[in-house]
Amino acid sequence: MSESEKSPESWSGIGHYLAVVWKYKWVVLAFGALVVTATVVFTQRQPRIYEAVTNLMIDPNAPQYLPTSSGQEVSPLGTANTWNTREYFETQYRIIRSRSVAAMVVERLGLARDLDFLGVTRIEDPTEQAAALANADPVSVLVSRTQVEAVEASNVVLVKVRDTDPARAAKLADALCHAYADANLDRKISFTGDAARWLATQVGDGRKEIDDAENALMAFKQKNGILTASLADKQNQLAARALDADRQLREARQETTRLSAALDQTKRLDAATVESSVDEVLANGLVQRLKEQMVSLQNERTELLKRYMEGHPDVKTSDEKIARVREALTREVQGIRQSMERRLQTASTAEQKLASDAAVIQREMEALNAVELEYKRLEAAAQSRKDLNTQLMVRQKEAQLQAEARANNVRILDAALVPERPVSPRLFVNLSVALLIALFGGIGLALLIDSLDSSVKNQEQLEKEFGLTFLGLVPSMRPQRRKKGNRFEPTGPIDPDRYVLDYPHSTAAECVRTVRTNLLFMAPERELRKLLITSAGPREGKTSTSVNIAATMAMSGSRVLLIDSDLRRPRIHRIFDLENNRGLSNLVLDPERDLATVAQPSGVENLDIMCSGPIPPNPAELLHTASFHRVVERLLERYDRIIFDSPPVCAVTDALILGNVCDGAVLVVRAGQTSREMVKKAHRLLADVKVNVLGALLNNVDVSRRGYGQYYYQEYRSTGYGADGRPAEGTPPQG
C-alpha cells in the first residue's frame, strides 16, 4: 500500500507513538546509553575465547574386507541404508559430544590436573581455589566447549572446541576426533569379539543337538523297518505295487463280468437259437459245422416239400436227419455252457485273490503314511540343525576375521590449526544487539511510562474513551522570540491569561479561533448565546480559556460579556486589573440594578467583564434562585453572547447549576495533567443533570512535540506567520 493510501487513523496512531517517544526522549536516550555502556564494559571484561576446528570424515559405508556375499558385519561401521542415514549421523554427532569420548580426552591429556583449563587459576583465594578444584568436572567442561557442525551435502563434520588458549583449543579438537575414531573402532572390535565367543558356544551346542536329532531319526527307522531304504523309496515301491494290483484286479473283474454275461446268453440257447451271436458258440468249429448241416438239411427238406407231401418217406427221412443234427447241436451247446461255468468260477476265485492282495498293499501304505509326518519332522529337525550349525560356523569365522581387522569408517581430513583471532567476545555483535535492545527497550520503556500515566493526552482519548466532541486544542503558552542578529531571543515574560490579547497572530490565538469557529457552527439551528466554560478540577486553564474564547468572539464583531461565575475563587478581575467590589453577586441580589454599574469594559472592543463581586456565603443557593435567571435574561437583551467562567465540576455543584441555565458547556481538559477518571466523572455529572455538553477542549498542549507540532507549525507557516507570531510581509490580517 502506498503512502497516499494509508488511512488517517494509521497515521494518527503512528503519530501518537512518535509523540510519546519524543516526550520521553531523554528517558530513551538514558536507557540506550546505559545499555551500550554496560555492553562495552561487559565485553571488555570477558576473557578472550579462541575456536579451533578439525575436519572429520565419517563414511556411511565402512570398508569391506570380507566378500559382500558373506553377509553384513557383526557390528557395521556406518550404514548402507539411505533411509536411516540422517539418524546415523545425528547419533554420531551426539557420540562425539558424549561424556565417554570426552573422558578419553581428559585421561589422555591429563586435563583433570590442568588448572588453567578448569578455570581455577582465576580464583585468587587459595581456599576457594582448592574447593573449586575439588568440585571441578573436566569432562563436563570439555563437553560444554565442544560443538559439532555438519557440512551441508557432504560427509564432513566440523568439530569445534573453544578455549582461552588457542594452542590448547587446537590440541583438544584433534584429541576429540582421535578419541572418537578410537572409540568407534573399539566398539566394533568389542562387539565382534563378543559375537565370536557367543557363536563358538552356539556351534558347540549345535553339534550335540545334531547328534541327538540323528539318533532319534535312526531309532525311528529301526522301529518302522525302513533301514534299507528311505521313507520315500519305500513309499514309491508300495505305490508301484498298488498300481499293478489295481490294474490286475480291474482286468479280473472285467473278465468275470464278461464271462457272467456270456454264460447268461448261453443258458438261453437251444438248437433253434444256436445261431445267436455268442462268442464261445460262434468260435466252436463243431457247432459251426453242425449249423451248416442243419441249414443244408433244411434246404433239402424244402426242396422235397416242393415235390412231395408232408408224410412222404423222403420227407420223413429228411426230418430224422435234421432231428439228429439238432440233438448233436444241443449237446455241443450244453458242453460249451459247462465249460463257461468252470471258467467263470476260476475267474471269480482269481478276482477275490487280487482284491485281497490290493487290500494288504493299501494297509501297508496307510501304515507307512501314518509315520510319514513324524519321520519328516525328525528328518527336518536333523537337517535344520545341520544347516544352522553350518551357518554359525561360517559366521563365527567371519566374526573372528572382523575382530582382527582394524578398518575404520572415521578419519581426520584436516587437523585443527591454531586460531589467531578470538571468536568471543565480539564487540561489534554485542554492540549491535545492545543498540537493538536500547532502541526497542527504550521505546518500550517510554510506552510503559506513558501507559502508566492516567492523564488525558490527545484527541483520540477524548473521543473514543469518553465520547466527547473534540472542539480543538490550545497549545502551551511560550514566550515569543524575535530575531536579534543571527539568533532569536525571547521578547520577555508572558501572561497566559492574556496571551491571545497580547499575541493575536500567534499559533495559540489561531487555535482559540478554531475552537470559536467550531462552537459557532456546532448547532446552526440553535444559536449558542449562553456558554459555560468549566473543567473537571482546578488549575486546568478554564479561566484562561474563558478569557481567550471571549476575546476571539469579541474580535469577530459579537457583543460579548465574560462573567466570572466562580463565586468561591474568582480571578478574572486580576487578569483585567479591575476592582472586584461589584459584580454578579450584587446583580443577583438586586436584579433591577443598572447593568452599567456591574459590567466593566475590558479594554477590548465589544468585550465587557462582569466580576464575581463580593463572595457570598452560599454561592450554589445564590445561583439557584429565580433572581439569577432574571439577571441572565436581562443580560441577553444587551449582549450577543454571555460566557460563564465557572468553578470545577467535580469540586462543587455550581457548574452543574450554571449548565442548566446555559445553552451549552465546554469542558476544558489540561493535557498530561487531568486524569481520565476526573474527565469521566465530570462528564457523568454533567450528563446526569441534562447539561448540554458541547465537547471538550484540550489545553496546554505541547505543540513542539512530534505529532502536534509538525501539523500546526506547517499549517501556520503556510498562512504567512513568522517565528514571532506576527504576520509576514504581504500577509492579510486574520480574524
* Three-class DSSP category at 391: helix
CA distance 114 to 106: 10
Contacts of 416 (CB under 8 A, 6+ apart): 52, 53, 54, 161, 169, 170, 171, 173, 174
Contact between 508 and 500 under an 8 Å Cβ cutoff? The reply is yes
* Residue-level length of the chain: 735
Query: 670-679, 681-690, 701-710: which range is least confident on average?
Result: 701-710
CA distance 165 to 186: 31
Kindly tell me if the per-residue pLDDT of 69 is higher than 50: no
**Alpha-carbon Rg of the chain, whole angstroms?**
66
How sure is the predictor about 267, in pLDDT bands with cuts at 50, 70 and 90? Answer: low
Whether omega before 425 lies within 30 degrees of 0, making that bond cis, reads: yes
Q: Mean pLDDT: which of 29-43, 315-329, 437-451, 695-709 is highest?
A: 29-43
Query: What torsion do the CA atoms of 642, 643, 648, 654 make, to the nearest 10 degrees?
Result: -10
Nearest residue to 265 (alpha-carbon basis) of 255, 257, 277: 277
Nearest residue to 280 (alpha-carbon basis) of 334, 327, 326, 324: 334
Nearest residue to 450 (alpha-carbon basis) of 625, 203, 707, 245: 707
Quote the pLDDT of residue 354. 80
Contacts of 93 (CB under 8 A, 6+ apart): 148, 150, 157
How sure is the predictor about 248, in pLDDT bands with cuts at 50, 70 and 90? Answer: confident
Burial of 154 (0-12, 13-18, 19+ CB in 10 A): exposed
Burial of 208 (0-12, 13-18, 19+ CB in 10 A): exposed
Kindly tell me if the per-residue pLDDT of 82 is higher than 70: no
CA distance 664 to 610: 20
148: which 3 cell numbers?
A: 559439532
pLDDT (tens digit per residue) in 581-599: 999 999 999 888 888 889 9
More confident residue, 237 or 624: 624
Q: Quote the longest CA-to-CA distance of the chain.
A: 209
Query: 220-229, 273-282, 534-543: which range is least confident on average?
Result: 273-282
In 76-180, the DSSP E strands lie at 146-150, 156-163
CA distance 204 to 557: 127
Kindly tell me if the per-residue pLDDT of 341 is higher than 80: no
Quote the pLDDT of residue 344. 78
Mean pLDDT confidence for 148-177:
93
Quote the pLDDT of residue 313. 83
Query: 89-98, 340-349, 589-598: which range is least confident on average?
Result: 340-349
Q: Write down the domain spans for the chain.
A: 24-46+425-452, 231-386, 459-718
pLDDT (tens digit per residue) in 491-527: 556 777 888 888 888 888 889 899 988 888 876 667 8
**Helix, strand, coil shares of the chain as percentages rounded to 5?**
60, 10, 30
Mean pLDDT confidence for 711-732:
40
Mean pLDDT confidence for 76-93:
71
pLDDT (tens digit per residue) in 398-456: 777 766 666 778 889 999 999 999 988 888 888 899 999 988 998 898 888 877 778 88
Please say whether the dihedral angle defined by the alpha carbons of residues 111, 114, 117 and 123, taken in this order, is positive or negative. Answer: positive
Kindly tell me if the per-residue pLDDT of 191 is higher than 70: yes
Quote the pLDDT of residue 524. 65
How sure is the predictor about 79, in pLDDT bands with cuts at 50, 70 and 90? Answer: low
Quote the pLDDT of residue 717. 40
Q: Mean pLDDT: which of 30-44, 191-205, 481-495 is highest?
A: 30-44
Distances (CA, A) of 615 to 62, 583, 612: 107, 10, 7
Quote the pLDDT of residue 718. 40
Quote the pLDDT of residue 45. 85
How sure is the predictor about 720, in pLDDT bands with cuts at 50, 70 and 90? Answer: very low
Please say whether the dihedral angle defined by the alpha carbons of residues 121, 122, 126 and 130, taken in this order, is positive or negative. Answer: negative
Amino acid at 620: A
Average pLDDT, the chain: 80
Nearest residue to 136 (alpha-carbon basis) of 118, 111, 122: 118
Contact between 325 and 287 under an 8 Å Cβ cutoff? The reply is no
Q: Does an H or E element contain 637, and which?
A: helix 626-638
508: which 3 cell numbers?
A: 495559540
Quote the pLDDT of residue 100. 93
pLDDT (tens digit per residue) in 94-106: 999 999 999 999 9
Mean pLDDT confidence for 457-469:
85
Distances (CA, A) of 29 to 21, 33, 240, 368: 10, 6, 113, 107
CA distance 466 to 283: 142
How sure is the predictor about 309, in pLDDT bands with cuts at 50, 70 and 90? Answer: confident
* Three-class DSSP category at 576: coil
How sure is the predictor about 701, in pLDDT bands with cuts at 50, 70 and 90? Answer: confident
CATH code, residues 459-718: 3.40.50.300
Quote the pLDDT of residue 487. 53
Mean pLDDT confidence for 122-130:
77
Residue with cell 436584579: 591
| Strand partners for 412 | 56
Kindly tell me if the per-residue pLDDT of 287 is higher than 80: no
More confident residue, 159 or 212: 159
More confident residue, 609 or 725: 609
Strand order of the β-sheet with 156-163 is 146-150, 156-163, 50-58, 410-414
Residue with cell 471269480: 348
Amino acid at 568: R
Contact between 653 and 534 under an 8 Å Cβ cutoff? The reply is no
92: which 3 cell numbers?
A: 554420531
Contact between 588 and 632 under an 8 Å Cβ cutoff? The reply is no
pLDDT (tens digit per residue) in 7-21: 555 545 677 778 778
Mean pLDDT confidence for 529-558:
91
CA distance 621 to 657: 9
Quote the pLDDT of residue 326. 79
Kindly tell me if the per-residue pLDDT of 278 is higher than 60: no
Please give the span between the terminal C-alpha atoms of the chain, in angstroms, as a whole number. Answer: 41
pLDDT (tens digit per residue) in 357-405: 778 877 777 776 767 677 778 778 878 888 888 888 887 777 777 666 6
